[in-house]
Amino acid sequence: MFRFSLQTVLEVRERQEKIKYKEFSQELIRRQTLQARIEALHQDLARAGRHTDEVRRRGTSAQPLQLHEHFRNRVNAEIAVLLDQLRQQEQAVEAKRRELVKARQEHRTLEILKEKEFGRYEMELNRRERAIMDEVASNNHFNPRG
């Protein structure tokens, strides 16, 4: 019965790869969340801009225009903060991607070793079976029954 000599290490590496994949996925989700928030703020700005254009056409007081300007400044500041967070998040995603690639390589290396070890095991098993069959054939040839 075949038993890989580094089976425990292989299982540990497999678990590590799964953990790294989960961590990478979480970083991707954080990045997507930031991107969605930035996009939503851009949409808010566009919507507010359209509303302000409508107010200007009507020729009402300056107060709604001032409110829009304050809103736009606040949202642009928030977008700037989120863009900085997004840049940092991109770095975190890249770091987790590298960790995942390394974990996959380590896991795959052990899988290849297991395949090679199994191949050697099969070759040795086949060699032994041939030796037994040769011995049986040789015994039958020299000791014919009958």
pLDDT tens per residue, range 101-114: 999 999 999 999 99
Amino acid 113: pLDDT: 98
Tokens of 37: 């928030």
CA-CA distance, 48 to 146, in Å (whole number)? 106
Residue 81 lies in a domain: yes
How would you classify residue 4: left for phi > 0, otherwise alpha for psi between -120 and 50, otherwise beta?
beta
Q: Looking at the domain assignment, is residue 94 inside a domain?
A: yes
12 within a domain of the structure (yes/no): yes
Q: What is the pLDDT of residue 116?
A: 97
**Is residue 28 pLDDT above 70, yes or no?**
yes
Q: Is the pLDDT of residue 3 over 70?
A: yes
Percent of the chain with pLDDT over 90: 76
Tell me how far apart the alpha carbons of residues 93 and 95 are, in angstroms, rounded to a whole number: 5
The predicted structure's pLDDT at residue 145? 63
pLDDT for 26: 98
Is residue 100 exposed (0-12), middle (13-18) or buried (19+ Cβ within 10 Å)?
buried
Decide if pLDDT at 20 tops 90.
Answer: yes
| 89 part of a folded domain | yes
In a domain, 138, yes or no: no
Domain of 33 in residue numbering reads as 7-107
Quote the mean pLDDT of the chain: 93
Cα separation of 127 and 112, whole Å? 23
In a domain, 124, yes or no: no
Total number of domains in the chain:
1
pLDDT of amino acid 98: 98
| Domain contains 33 | yes
Examine residue 27 and state whether it is found in any structural domain, yes or no.
yes
Q: Token pair 């770095």 is at which residue? A: 91
